Amino acid sequence: MAGHFLIVEARFYEEIVDSQVAGAIAALEAGGASFERVAVPGALEIPGAIAMASTGHRHFDGYVALGCVIRGETSHYDTVCNESARGLMHLSVVGGLAIGNGVITVENESQAWARADVSQKNKGGDAARAAMAMAAIKQVFCGCTNER
């Protein structure tokens, strides 16, 4: 099952996310999957975009959530990290959506690049492979291929 996926990319750290997207696209193409992309302002908007897409007119077998949150001087980092992860987990567990979570949460920009770079940790590729794996598991257990 290759499937059709939606890459939801938070554009707050554009260059870092571009690297994550490159890794995700390469993984999806290697897996024979098709995909569409949508950009959102930041990590907090990713769960909302996935929720909207899952109830819309287009059909997706799964979702790849990509973004980067770098710790700053305030507690806003904790809110963004926790709430974006909580939102994605809620959509996965309660909504039954196949989601690969590639929202990286780091202390500094060098850690972000180490995780985003396709020649290093390639977390965008990991998220895409996770989404494809979860979509395949969903197919086994419920026989459904589309999110609607």
What pLDDT digit, counting tens, does each position of 66-115 carry?
Answer: 999 999 888 889 999 999 999 999 999 999 999 999 999 999 999 999 99
DSSP 72-109: -SSTHHHHHHHHHHHHHHHHHHTT---EEEEEEEESSH
Q: What is the pLDDT of residues 42-53, one digit of tens each?
A: 999 999 999 999
Which among 4, 57, 59, 76 is annotated as catalytic?
76
Q: Quote the pTM value.
A: 0.94
90 is an active site residue: no
DSSP category for residue 116:
H
